[in-house]
Amino acid sequence: MEYRKLGKSALKVSTLCLGTMNFGPRTSEEESFAIMNDAMEAGINFFDTANQYGGKLGVGTTETIVGKWLTQNPQHRDKIVLATKVHQPMSDDVNDRGLSARHIRMACDASLKRLNVDHIDLYQMHHIDRTAPADEIWQAMDQLISQGKITYVGSSNFPGWKIAQMNEKAQVRHSLGLVSEQSLYNLVERRAELEVIPACKEYGLGVITWSPLSGGLLALNDDDGTGRRQSKSIKSAAQSRSDQLSRYGDLCKSIGETPTAVALAWLLNQGGVTSNIIGPGSRAQLASVLHVPTMQISQETLATIDEIFPPIGTAPEAYAW
């Protein structure tokens, strides 16, 4: 396993991050436990979840499963970097959502209880909240840090301007600021390259990619036929990009790698990317990508991938003069 610094922090995390969103709604508790055990044995030390995950089983379900696993395996707690998120609605209560100082503190305490831990290593804002002043957010986060309930603060789905604003505010408060941004980024969706990734580089944030396979679209025929690739939206996208995906499949075959592995390895070759979130629904899916951190992709192959999935450009040249 390969490890990289999480942004400007001294913390080192594995380049594959175990995403847990499937735990509960798609993957049984027993299988989830087995996946987490396998991830630990493979050297994955970065686990990501969110307080809202749980799907039809209800918000908080996924955190509860991770908490049960940690209760059964207390020796693992200090070996993993545990990340969760706050922002999404947790009930019908008008204040049980967003990034008000009140909700941040209450949501953190609730996550700690479900996860059965005394601190969260990386506490991430799941989405931007335009109604919450940056100073209010930092007031709550700084208090949680001083109380030892969280160690680092990260963002998710933030635009470049908000990353800049939050870090400028943190500097005034003499705080470390954001250390990571969890962003949608893959071969099909490259808009993060315009401003999000440049902002992360400027302010020292590590980029954690989510949906690195574009909902299964880039897996082509790698999956077992039970994932999101079977959804109507992904099938429609596959049809509209059939020629592009066919060229991609041929390229992967020519270098003897699966489309899934190449898509993940490509991201790890992009400047600023620290880790890819993988969301295996089974132990077999996890095992199939464990070699990705050690994969070598030639410059020629990277250039060909750019021809198949061309970048949008650089900001502001991509949309201004």
Catalytic residues: 53
Nearest-CA neighbor of 126 among 165, 169, 184, 172? 184
Distances 273 to 182, 199, 315 between C-alpha atoms, Å: 10, 13, 18
- In angstroms, what is the C-alpha Rg of the chain? 19
Q: Are 178 and 155 a contacting pair, CB within 8 Å?
A: yes
Is the previous residue joined to 316 through a cis bond, with omega within 30 degrees of 0? yes
Q: How far is CA 218 from the centre of its chain?
A: 17
Tokens of 30: 């027993």
Q: How far, in Å, CA of 207 to CA of 219, rounded?
A: 22
Q: What are phi and psi of 82, to 5 degrees?
A: -95, 120
Handedness of CA 65, 123, 8, 298 (dihedral sign): positive
Tokens of 108: 């953190």
Helices (H) and strands (E) in the chain, counts: 11, 10
Nearest-CA neighbor of 98 among 164, 52, 61? 52
CB atoms closer than 10 angstroms to residue 297: 16
Residue 199 is given by DSSP the state H
Q: Are strands 273-278 and 12-14 parallel, antiparallel or unpaired?
A: unpaired
Q: Are strands 46-48 and 16-19 parallel, antiparallel or unpaired?
A: parallel
